[in-house]
Amino acid sequence: MKKVILVAGARPNFMKIAPLMHALKGNTHIKPVLVHTGQHYDITMSGQFFEELNIPAPDINLEVGSASHAVQTARIMEGFEQVCINEKPDFVLVVGDVNSTAACTMVAAKFDGIKTIHYEAGLRSGDRSMPEEINRLVTDAITNVFFTTSADADENLLKEGIAPERIFMVGNLMIDSLTANLKKAEDTSLNFKLLNKNAEVAANALSKYGVMTFHRPNNVDNELMLKKLVKIWAKVSEKIPLIFPVHPRTYKNIQNFGLQAEINSYKNLYFIEPLGYLQFINLVKNAAFALTDSGGIQEETTFMNIPCLTVRPNTERPVTIWEGSNKLLKISEIETEIDLIIQGKGKKGIVPKFWDGHTAERIVKILEKM
Ligand code: UD1
């Protein structure tokens, strides 16, 4: 029996780990050990995802919590080294591009006898001002095996000199979670309590609305940028209501930059708590568009064929633009694009290859051969 440690750290990891845990259940060749680094730790960012996605409680929780990049990475490395010593795994499989991804790969790569595997390898935004791009580059520079979501990722890895036999295009684990949970998501309530107001918004009572997520440091840690964004959200919300489950990083900055009172004054701009997986999927599924700077939402909207406006100069997920319903936009282009969507002329696309709900099965088959 081989042992594989699966690492989950932050919110976008949980929907990628869930299908793998389910596909490995009862496997007689591979025993999974689930390690949660504790990078995300509270109910809204972590606990409710485990519950809704039926992920078993982690075997080990490093409880590292929030800190600066270096301190958080160092804490994860220190804790995970001990895990590798105690557990003696054959494989360590990490997903995505968060600090936990790079930290655990750096630790495992120095143990003789541990093979490291990166799911979502090869994605490149080309933008090293993003902490996630640094994590992708570091992880892929040292990992042994590369599981990819799209052909462009394979090409990036080949260009970087990775031997083709180490690269496996397996498809998209997020879409495994999405297809498995879409029906269940449709039954969740779309009534949300507003943050900082004693009121609710009933999304299904609105004839149309957009869903919004923003949390990239380049957008929300910069006071001028965040102020610009608030102005544009206000303008857009005059045309179509906007529902915004606010990430803790963004919420803190809104408070620190004194923007809450202004936001409260815009009546169609609905700020709500971060949502669990099922409610979020339901909210997106019924939305006219998503306005975002997230990575994962570009993929989920592509699968659901909902126009996605990504407010970033680049994306590590170009297949969502070439094939899917995603567009990259500058702040100054948002309003025009939303006018088009309101007229029914939003971007539509197709679903990329292997985004079919069977990625975890393909990964388990490859692991069994290894
Ligand atoms: C991290 C990932 C990012 C991912 C995002 C999804 C890195 C470098 N970044 O960014 O790629 O898209 O998660 O959410 O790994 N906080 C809470 N509760 C929690 C977790 C965090 O309140 O459970 C607060 C922290 O106090 C911190 C802020 O949220 O101030 C940011 O958290 P952090 O994990 O440092 O980075 P994210 O911006 O979430």
Look at residue 298 in the predicted model and tell me its pLDDT: 98
Q: How far apart are CA 322 and CA 250, in angstroms?
A: 29
Q: Using one digit for the tens of pLDDT, what is the confidence trace for 280-332?
A: 999 999 999 999 999 999 999 999 999 999 999 999 999 999 999 999 999 99
> What atom of ligand 1 comes closest to residue 44's alpha carbon?
23
Look at residue 38 in the predicted model and tell me its pLDDT: 98
Q: Using one digit for the tens of pLDDT, what is the confidence trace for 329-362?
A: 999 999 999 999 999 999 999 999 999 999 999 9
pLDDT at position 196 over 90: no
Active site residue 215: yes
Nearest CA to ligand 1 atom 11: 98
Look at residue 339 in the predicted model and tell me its pLDDT: 97
> What atom of ligand 1 comes closest to residue 10's alpha carbon?
13
Find the 293 Cα to ligand 1 centroid distance in Å.
Answer: 14
Find the 80 Cα to ligand 1 centroid distance in Å.
Answer: 19
Q: How far apart are CA 263 and CA 154, in angstroms?
A: 43
Look at residue 280 in the predicted model and tell me its pLDDT: 97
Name the residue of 61, 68, 98, 256 whose CB sits within 8 Å of the most ligand 1 atoms, as the mutation to test its pocket.
98
132 lines ligand 1 (CB under 6 A): yes
Tell me which of 36, 40, 118, 215 is the catalytic residue. 215
Confidence band for 197, pLDDT divided at 50, 70 and 90: confident
Instruction: Give the rounded distance of the alpha carbon of 236 from its chain centre.
Output: 25
Q: Is 38 helix (H, G, I), strand (E, B) or coil?
A: coil
Q: How far apart are CA 304 and CA 98, in angstroms?
A: 25
Q: Angle at Cα 316 formed by Cα 118 and Cα 301, nearest 5°?
A: 100
Q: Please state, rounded to an integer, the average pLDDT across all residues of the chain.
A: 97
- Dihedral sign (CA 349, 353, 358, 360): negative
Find the 250 Cα to ligand 1 centroid distance in Å.
Answer: 10
Helices assigned H by DSSP within the chain: 11-24, 48-52, 69-87, 99-108, 131-142, 151-159, 173-186, 217-220, 223-239, 248-256, 260-264, 277-285, 296-304, 319-322, 334-342, 359-369
pLDDT at position 226 over 90: yes
45 lines ligand 1 (CB under 6 A): yes
Look at residue 198 in the predicted model and tell me its pLDDT: 85
Q: How far apart are CA 55 and CA 17, in angstroms?
A: 8
